[in-house]
Amino acid sequence: MSDPAAVRAHLNRILSSPGFANAERLRRFLSFTVNAHLNGEAGQIKELVLGHEVFDRDASYDPRLDPIVRVEARRLRQRLAEYYAGPGAAEPFRIDFPKGAYAPVIAPMPKNTTSHGRLLLAVTLIAVAFAAWYFTRTSVPANTLAIVPARWTFVDPAGLHPADEALCEAITAQVANRGRVPVVGWPSILPFRQRHKQSPDVAKDTGASMVLAIAVRETAPRFRVTAFLVEPFTGRKRWAEDFYSQDLQSPDSLRALAQTIAHDLEIALGTGN
């Protein structure tokens, strides 16, 4: 096992890096799992435990219904890969999370990660980025997103709060302004308020390949907002996450929550950072 003090110093450098400094969920995830590993408690790092200890889920938390741990694990793997390809290229250790597992693997950085190896990696990354730009610069993005209130698609919308409409409009604006995911304009979504169509119908009528449904429930003293991203023609759920807000009335609160949801959506789609 690597020297615990050196690993903790390595961990602190990661947590202080630009990719982690403002990512509170990922910081808690990484800190909890690495410290458990160093304390000889790797066997206790389970999805259910992480849901309770890291993501503040209550006793009703069911990993089969709430994929928060799996979603954040994918984000964590991506951020770590970016760190080791950038500011952490000269680190003496590397922390990895094998797919399907939540206990970290901590090992010395491979010996071939020398200045020559890092230069080769940088050149490769530049080449890949250039190829991606070259082949997509004139093409239309394949994935188009429609954002709708869940109340408009559910057969029984009982218990859902009408604040979802203003929030969906705000999320649509944020996604459009960020420019990373093509999104159906809000005026094209408004007619579904009266039609109450299911996700496949929304996708068919708007040309969208993905539908993000937003459900708002009032759980005093705050609102619980659940975002569901689905592929309507296959029924595949690509992403789901809960968000919380004390106020869904003021423009500033709506904008802040919409920014958070848009950011996390991009991470789930592999277009964010």
The per-residue pLDDT for 133 is: 42
Tell me the average pLDDT across 21-36. Answer: 92
Tell me the average pLDDT across 28-36. Answer: 94
- 8 A C-beta contact, residue 168 and residue 188: no
Residue 48, helix vs strand vs coil: helix
**Cα 166 versus chain centre, distance:** 22
The per-residue pLDDT for 216 is: 92
- Exposure of 243 in the CB half-sphere (CA atoms within 13 A): 25
Give the lowest-confidence range in 107-111, 188-192, 216-220, 249-253. Answer: 107-111
CA torsion sign for 14, 19, 21, 27 is negative
Label residue 263 exposed, middle or buried (CB < 10 Å: 0-12, 13-18, 19+): middle
**Residue 104: which pLDDT band, with cuts at 50, 70 and 90?**
very high
Residue 113, helix vs strand vs coil: coil
**Any bridge partners for residue 236, and if so which?**
231
Residue 205, helix vs strand vs coil: helix
Give the lowest-confidence range in 42-56, 90-104, 136-150, 197-211. Answer: 136-150
**Residue 128 pLDDT > 70:** no
**In angstroms, rounded to a whole number, what is the distance separating the alpha carbons of residues 10 and 88?**
9
Tell me the average pLDDT across 140-148. Answer: 75
Q: What is the pTM of this model?
A: 0.49
Question: 145-269 falls under which CATH superfamily?
Answer: TolB, N-terminal domain (3.40.50.10070)
**Residue 12 pLDDT > 90:** yes
Most confident of 128-142, 196-210, 258-272: 258-272
- Give the containing element (helix H, strand E) for 149: strand 145-149
**Residue 259 pLDDT > 70:** yes
Q: Which amino acid is at 174?
A: Q
The per-residue pLDDT for 136 is: 42
Q: Which amino acid is at 31?
A: S
**Residue 36 pLDDT > 50:** yes
**Any bridge partners for residue 237, and if so which?**
230
Please name the residue that has the structure tokens 């970290």: 104
